[in-house]
Structure formats: C-alpha cells, structure tokens
Amino acid sequence: MLTELLNIETIQIVNEVANWQDAIHIAAAPLLQQNKIEKRYIQAMIQSIEQHGPYVVLTPKVAIPHARPSEGVNELSMSLLNLQNPVQFGPDKPVFLIIILAATDHTTHLQALVDLTQVLQEPSQIDEIIGCQHPDCIVEKIKQYATKER
C-alpha cells in the first residue's frame, strides 16, 4: 500500500526551505494538485503543530504532519519531501524528511503506517533515503524496506 501512495508523483527533493511551515506547504503541494486534499488541510496541519509543538517529529530527521480527516481530506494519500538541508521543527529537531499523511478515517491508513514503520525503523535506512538525489531512488528504497522480512 505504501508504494501506491508514495510514488514519483508524490515525492519531491528540494535543497532547502525557509521554515517548517514552508516545508509543509511544499510537501503537501502534490496532494493539493491531485485534489486529494484541500488547502484547509495544510492550514490544519500547521495550526496543530503551532498549538501542540513538534509532536510530528516521530523519529530523528523525520516529521509526519497530519490533521483530522474532516479538515480537508478527499482521498487517502501521502507525499514525501526530501530536504538536502534540514529544517528545524523545534529546538534540536532537525528534519530532512517530511511525510504528509492524509487519512480519510481512523483505519484505512493503518497498513500504510505499518509499511512506513518498516521503512523508518533503521536510522541507516532513513539516511539512505535522505541521500537520494532523485524520486526514483526514494521509490526503490521504499519498495526495498517496506517489503523486508517482518
């Protein structure tokens, strides 16, 4: 499921961004263009982090911004922004990978999250993805790590 959601159309590689808010806007852009989310979903993700702090930084170097399905999700979707230079989500919270999660309910995205956990469980795997210079490389790494022996 993860490889269906994170593909050439939903993965971007950028050198750097001005701040974490810009990172979320850029990361979510493919989903907005494909009409899988509405603009208000991007605002909801940003407001949530502003209110609750950088809770979306789930593991070093990786943030998974998300908001409630009712806040503008049209279709289950994910996108990934790979930054060559990190953006700070908080003190001592440098982030290279921003993975937008847009769930339509509380269950349909769970398999994608299980697969994503496989991908992000090893720091070396995260570093290899960060080192990718093209979306094709990231797609291959995700396929490789998500299908590892469980």
pLDDT at site 108: 81
* 66, 106, 109, 134: the active-site residue: 66
The tokens of 146 are what? 């998500």
Query: Rounded to two decimals, what is the model's pTM?
Result: 0.94
Describe the strand order of the beta sheet including 61-63 as a list of residue ranges: 11-14, 77-88, 94-102, 61-63, 57-59
66 is catalytic: yes
pLDDT at site 150: 46
How many domains does one find in the chain? Answer: 1
Mean predicted lDDT score pLDDT of the chain: 94
Residue span of the structural domain in which 127 resides: 2-146
DSSP helix/strand/coil, 4:
helix
Centre a 10 Å sphere on the Cβ of residue 89 and count the other Cβ atoms it contains: 22
pLDDT at site 119: 92
Structural contact between residues 96 and 20, judged by C-beta atoms closer than 8 angstroms = no
CATH code of the domain in which 112 resides: 3.40.930.10
Centre a 10 Å sphere on the Cβ of residue 49 and count the other Cβ atoms it contains: 20
